[in-house]
């Protein structure tokens, strides 16, 4: 989850009215961006579903050492393991975002949703900074909660775990584990990537819908293809940013319960305004390439303190959560 780090630090713990004032330029820019996209409605579509491949029986866990050596020379990092790749790897590489069928059953979603919302509504939840805080919260989740463990077992010991291993290696490090809740009245964020640009894939994030998400509930909007070089600069330049938004197709992540949007941390995206009367809760987690060091200008990631200290890998989470 990206926050504008400096702004987030400055605003932590200040009165709500002051926060609202400080956030106003972002709120206004979000409204402008929404209008630009609305003008180009023909360029907007719903994120299409890509079928889930079969789960691999035998895990292939090895880092591509040749690629690693080559990457060292060019200042990059190894971005994939060797062997056959998940069929989801190609669409992720091309578009920067893939929507997949339910990775959690309805009973697992129901239990997880109640758990997350009960902590979100408790007196002092463990929240991380999120971009535009009005009626939006980003709840860090510990790995020990049974509903979280069961969800991660179902997801990571399935085809999505295989994909993450393929594109980031089994040594990928858990970077975020949280639940994003956008309540009615939450505002539209500005488009942003979650990380600074790197030539290789550094972070993969998975947003799992804990209820159906309709257009009025503030779904994430993605700009497919913008995880590639140059787009972050176009977005940051006042001269080019409007043209970029007007000229580029975007996709709304209208997920059904249990479905997942998997995305490259470099892609331009934003949470839109929740103008419905319903809560939108998204369970999410991300993994980072073990050699990827989130650059300055990147958030710490929404991860509770003890997990941050431990540096848990994909292989370890898979094993720990296995039922």
Q: Is 262 in the site for ligand AKG (CB under 6 A)?
A: no
Kind and range of the H or E run holding 110: helix 106-120
Return the closest-CA partner of residue 202 out of 224, 173, 235: 173
Residue with tokens 């709120």: 27
CB nearer to ligand AKG: pick between 19 and 269: 269
Return the residue of 266, 269, 279, 288 that touches ligand AKG, per CB under 6 A: 269
Q: Is 180 in the site for ligand AKG (CB under 6 A)?
A: yes
Across 55-76, b (16+ Cβ under 10 Å) vs e yields ebeeeeeebbeebeeebeeeeb
Residue nearest to ligand AKG (CB): 271
Checking phi first, is residue 165 left (phi over 0); if not, alpha (psi -120 to 50) or beta?
Answer: alpha
- CA dist 152 and 22 (Å) reads 37
Return the closest-CA partner of residue 88 out of 41, 56, 44: 56
Q: Is 1 in the site for ligand AKG (CB under 6 A)?
A: yes
Q: Is 182 in the site for ligand AKG (CB under 6 A)?
A: yes
Q: Is 11 in the site for ligand AKG (CB under 6 A)?
A: no
Sites for ligand AKG among residues 99-138 (CB under 6 A): 130-131
User: How near is the Cβ of 1 to ligand AKG at its closest, in Å?
Assistant: 4
What tokens appear for 262 in the block? Answer: 């998997």
C-alpha distances (whole Å) from 164 to each of 49, 61, 112, 160 are: 18, 12, 22, 6
Q: Is 96 in the site for ligand AKG (CB under 6 A)?
A: no
Count of CB atoms within 10 A of residue 303's CB? 25
CB nearer to ligand AKG: pick between 180 and 203: 180
CB nearer to ligand AKG: pick between 130 and 164: 130
Which residues, in sequence order, are bridge partners of residue 288?
173, 203
Q: Is 220 in the site for ligand AKG (CB under 6 A)?
A: yes
User: How near is the Cβ of 32 to ligand AKG at its closest, in Å?
Assistant: 18
DSSP secondary structure code for residue 216 in this structure = G
Residues that contact ligand AKG, how many (by CB under 6 A):
10
User: How near is the Cβ of 301 to ligand AKG at its closest, in Å?
Assistant: 11
CB nearer to ligand AKG: pick between 4 and 234: 4
User: How near is the Cβ of 229 to ligand AKG at its closest, in Å?
Assistant: 21
Q: Which residues bind ligand AKG (CB under 6 A)?
A: 1-2, 130-131, 180, 182, 189, 220, 269, 271
């Amino acid at each position: 989850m990206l926050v504008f780090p400096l702004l987030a630090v400055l605003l932590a713990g200040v009165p709500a009215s002051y926060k609202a004032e400080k956030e106003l330029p972002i709120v206004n820019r979000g409204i402008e961006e929404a209008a630009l996209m609305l003008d180009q409605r023909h360029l907007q579509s719903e994120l299409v579903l890509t079928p889930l491949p079969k789960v691999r029986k035998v895990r292939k866990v090895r880092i591509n050492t040749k690629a690693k050596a080559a990457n060292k020379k060019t200042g990059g990092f190894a971005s994939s393991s060797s062997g056959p790749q998940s069929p989801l790897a190609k669409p992720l590489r091309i578009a920067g975002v893939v929507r997949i069928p339910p990775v959690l059953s309805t009973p697992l979603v129901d239990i997880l949703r109640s758990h997350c919302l009960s902590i979100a509504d408790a007196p002092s939840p463990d929240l991380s900074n999120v971009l535009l805080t009005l009626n939006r919260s980003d709840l860090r989740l510990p790995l020990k909660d049974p509903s979280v463990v069961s969800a991660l077992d179902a997801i990571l010991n399935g085809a999505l775990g295989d994909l993450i291993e393929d594109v980031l290696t089994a040594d990928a490090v858990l970077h975020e584990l949280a639940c994003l809740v956008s309540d009615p009245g939450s505002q539209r964020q500005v488009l942003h990537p979650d990380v600074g640009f790197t030539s290789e894939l550094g972070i993969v994030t998975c947003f799992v819908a804990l209820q159906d998400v309709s257009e009025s509930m503030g779904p994430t909007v993605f700009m497919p293809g913008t995880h590639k070089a140059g787009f972050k600069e176009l977005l940051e330049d006042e001269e080019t940013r409007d043209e970029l938004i007007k000229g580029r197709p975007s996709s709304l992540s209208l997920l059904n319960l249990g479905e997942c949007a998997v995305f490259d941390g470099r892609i331009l995206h934003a949470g839109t305004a929740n103008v419905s009367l319903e809560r939108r809760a998204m369970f999410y987690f991300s993994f980072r390439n073990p050699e990827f060091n989130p650059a300055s200008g990147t958030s710490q990631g929404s991860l509770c303190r003890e997990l941050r200290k431990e540096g848990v890998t994909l292989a370890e989470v898979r094993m720990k959560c296995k039922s």
